[in-house]
Structures are given as C-alpha cells and as structure tokens.
Structure 1
Amino acid sequence: MLAAMDSQGRVIFAILLREARVRHGRSHLGYGWAVIEPVALILFLTLVFSQLRSSGISGYDFALFFATGVLPFNLFRTSSQYASGALEANRPLFHYPPVQPVDAVLARVLLESATALLVMGLVFGAQIAWLRAPPPAHPLQLLAVLGLAATLAFGVAMCLATAREWLPSLGHLYGVLMGPAFLLSGIFFSLHAMPEGARDMLVWNPLIHIVEGFRSGYLAGYRAPELDLAYLAWFAGGSVVLGLALTLTFGRKAS
C-alpha cells in the first residue's frame, strides 16, 4: 500500500511540475509573475479601498480587514477555477494507466494553493513590516481554514472538470458566478454586522465561512458567532465525495 501511495505521489508531483512549466515557463519572469501579479493587484485594491473607506470596518484597519477576506477567497477561487480544466488540458496523459484524472485535478489544486499561500505570506508580511499590522492571533485556525478551503476547491474542481466534458461552457459560467460570490462572501463586510434577514441567507454560503474563519483566526477579538467550521467541513467533504464519484465514473471519458 505504501509503495502504491509513493508511486501515485510521484505521478502527482510530475504532473504538478508539468503544469508549472506549461503555465509559467513561457513568461520571462516564470513562476515569479504568478506571484507578483496577484500581490500587486491586492495591494492596489487595498490602497484604493482604504482611501474610499479610511474609517475601517468593525474597528479594524480596512487594509488588514480586506486582506483577511480576499486572500482566502482567492485561494478557493483560483484553485477551483484552474483545476476545473485539468481533464481537458491533460487528456494525452490519461493513456498511461498510472495517471488518473483525479491526479491531474489534485496537481492543479496543489499548485494554485501553494501560489496563494506564497501570496498571502508576501501581503501579510508587507502589512506587518510597513503598516505595523498585528501577526495572526490563531495560526492553527488559519491553517485549518485554508486546508478546508483547498479541500472544497478540490471537490468543486472535480465536479466541474467532469461536467465540462459534456458542457464545455460551464468553465466560463463558473468564472462569471465567482463575480457575485466575491461580493457575497464577506470580503467587504462582517457577517455579524449584517441585518438578520441577510445573515440567515448568507450563512448558507460555504465561502463566507472560509472568510469568517480566516478573519477570526487572524484578527484578535473578531466576532464571528455565525461561523460554523463543521458546516464548512461537511460541505467540503461532500464535494470531494461527489467529485470523486463523478471523476472515477466518468473521468476516463477525457481519454
């Protein structure tokens, strides 16, 4: 069993390296551009929105409040969106028996998640160094939430990747839907501060639990009474089970 796991791990790592070369190898900056671009964008948005709302939110500096929302959200968004195209992009590899469709999806999720973590480190490091932002209050909670976000991204990506074999336009539709999700996942607001009716609806959105969980793990004293990590865990686990069932049943259609 250990030998099989080691072999599959090598397959996933090989696909991950291939994905990194294909996606970033054509740029002069290579992988560095994949990090520089989102860091620059987030810092720019932070500067713009900080000027528009200099008073902060829920008693916290807006720059830090915004970063603790947009960064975990982006980990899920970029990982799930990029990994949903894994079957189509790696179609020739599935002629080799050791390579499974699940491996291709997982490799893309790992690559994007690693990039998102590096971006987080740079953004928060810059805020701590230059804006005197506090360090994370509960690092273990941050790791748990990010793990759940990556797990949810993996499950959603498997479902989308399989569905895109029959509905190729689904990838574009998913990208469009991420626009409203960006506005409804607590990036610009605290869930606890919303009217009760809005809270009752928003609480069903698993992405808002990613944001609230990350934010309450970073900001000391942040109130998140509606946070339900168990709900997020069940949702993420359910998406993985469904995604595995779909990918293992229909994923080989990609070959």
Structure 2
Amino acid sequence: MTQAVRDYYSASVAFGRVIVALVLREARVRYGRSRLGYFWAVVEPAIMIAFLTVVFTAFRNTQPAAGGSFAIFFATGVLPFQMFRTSSTRISSALEANRPLFNYPLVRQLDTVFARAVLEVSTHIVVMILVFTFQYFFFHASPPADIGMILIAIGLLAALALGIGMIIAVITQVIPSITEFYAVIMGASFFLSAVIYPLSVVPSYYREFLLWNPLVHGIEAFRAGFFAGYRADDMDLSYLGLFALSAVAIGMIADRIVTKDET
C-alpha cells in the first residue's frame, strides 16, 4: 500500500467517523427531547400521508392509470416527494444550526450538510418501507416490480435534495428570506410534480412544461419501479441525474467561495 493510498484511507475513515458522530448528534438533538424519540419521526409522516390519502381519495371517483387503489398510487408519489422536500429543507438550515461546531478543526461545513442528508433520507426510507408494508397487508398491494429502479429514483432524488439544500444553505447566509421563498415553491411543486396524477394523463402541451421539473422524472421513475407496466414514456433519468449532479457541484463551489470569504 502506497503512502497516497494510506493517506486516502485514513482521511476516508476520519470523514466517516465525523459523519456518524454528526448523524448521532443530530438525531439526539432533534428527537431526544420527545419520549417517543425517533419513533415519532417515522410515525408523523406516515400519519400525514394517511391523512392526505383519505382527503384526496374522498375527492376522486376514478381509478388511477396504474390500476389498483388510489391510496397505493398516491403513496408512490407523495413518499418520494416528501423525502425530497423535507430533506432539502432540513439540509438548507444545517449551516446555521451547527455553526458552533465549525470551531472544531475536524468538522467542516459540508460535514453537517452530509450528516443531515444521511439522517433525513434514511428516515424517509424507513417510512417508505413501513407504509408499503402496511399497504401490502391491508390494501393487498402488489410488491414492487423493480426494486432497482426504485433505488435509482431514491438515490437521484436524494442527490438532488442534497444539491438544492446546499445551494439554499449558502444563499441563506446572504439572503435569509430565501427559505420562505423556497417553502412557497415547494407548496406549488406538490401539484406540479405528478404526485397525485400520472404524467401520461396530462395533455402534451402542458406536459412539456412539467418535464422541465426534475422531480417529475424522479417520481415517474419511482412509480415505474413500483408498478409493473406503468407508462413512463417521458421519464428521463439522465436529465434528473445531470440536474442533481449540477446542483451538488454548484452547492459545493458556492460553499467553498463563501468559506474563503469568511476566512
């Protein structure tokens, strides 16, 4: 083993230990004050999804294009969307919330961002498993048709949440009100990301505009992986991947610029 390889291995181990420590600290600070702790972090979004499912089902008389119950179809849209929205929002406040930790030489700004990303995405994956397991036993939902596609969709949406969250976290240091603006955008995105309807039923003229939204491609990919034979002809994972990688790169560059300015 060369010296360069040993140095890289040591740096990777140190980075991993810092991330694990930050994730445990984040979980303890956020959930340690509640008696239910982390359990509530999983139950709360599950209850919200169940409530939204009941509300939207009450106003729908037609079956979704994918077949089966609307509850299952709705879950395949709202779960990946919620993972992105919650993760990106939490990541965007990571720098301000953990600023005292930056006095320690081992902790970098991006470490706190990555730690929040790990905690949020892993929490939502647990929620997804619980919700779909519940629906399998009580709604007679079929098991996922292509788990690989689902994992790709989750990974790309998680990367997109990381990139967008980093960009907003950096901008927040200059324009604090950007978080309120982002919340408004996310509220509108719920109806513009194919969460409650399949993209195939949207008229082609309006569909062209929706396809500019990278979340649409992630949600369509998630549904294509869950439902066998789901039509996702307009899904473009390369577009979502390029958008996610660009967002991460911009976020890291912006963080480097801001960090240099502060020093």
Q: TM-score, normalised by structure 1?
A: 0.97
Tell me the residue number matched to 1:52.
59
Decide which moves more: 221-230 or 59-68. 59-68
Tell me by how many angstroms 1:50 deviates: 2.0
1:12 aligns with 2:43: no
Q: Do the aligned partners of 1:87 and 1:254 also contact (CA within 8 Å) in 2?
A: no
Cα distance between partner residues in 2 of 1:129 and 1:253: 55
Mapping for residues 16-27 of structure 1, pairs under 5 Å: 16-27=23-34
Q: Structure 1's 254 and 77: CA in aligned 2 closer, same or farther, altered over 3 A?
A: farther
**Structure 1 runs (4+) greater than 6 angstroms displaced:** 252-255
Q: 1:220-239 alignment to 2 at 5 Å?
A: 220-239=228-247
- Residue aligned with 2:19, SS: helix
Closer, same or farther in 2 for the Cα pair 1:252/1:120, shift >3 Å? Answer: farther
CA RMSD of aligned residues (A): 1.3
Structure 1, residues 133-159: CA drift from partner, whole Å, max 9, x if none? 001000000001100011111111111
1:29-178 alignment, distance < 5 Å: 29-60=36-67, 61-178=69-186
1:223 maps to amino acid = R
Structure 1 residues 165 and 48, CA gap change in structure 2 (3 angstroms): same
What is the distance in 1 between the residues matched to 2:138 and 2:196?
22
Percent of aligned pairs sharing the same letter = 47
The alignment covers a number of residue pairs equal to 255
Deviations 1:43-84 (A, max 9, x none): 121122223224321142211110000000111110000010
Give the greater-gyration-radius structure (CA).
2
Aligned counterparts of 1:253 and 1:174: Cα–Cα separation in 2 = 25
Structure 2 gaps of 5+ residues are 1-7
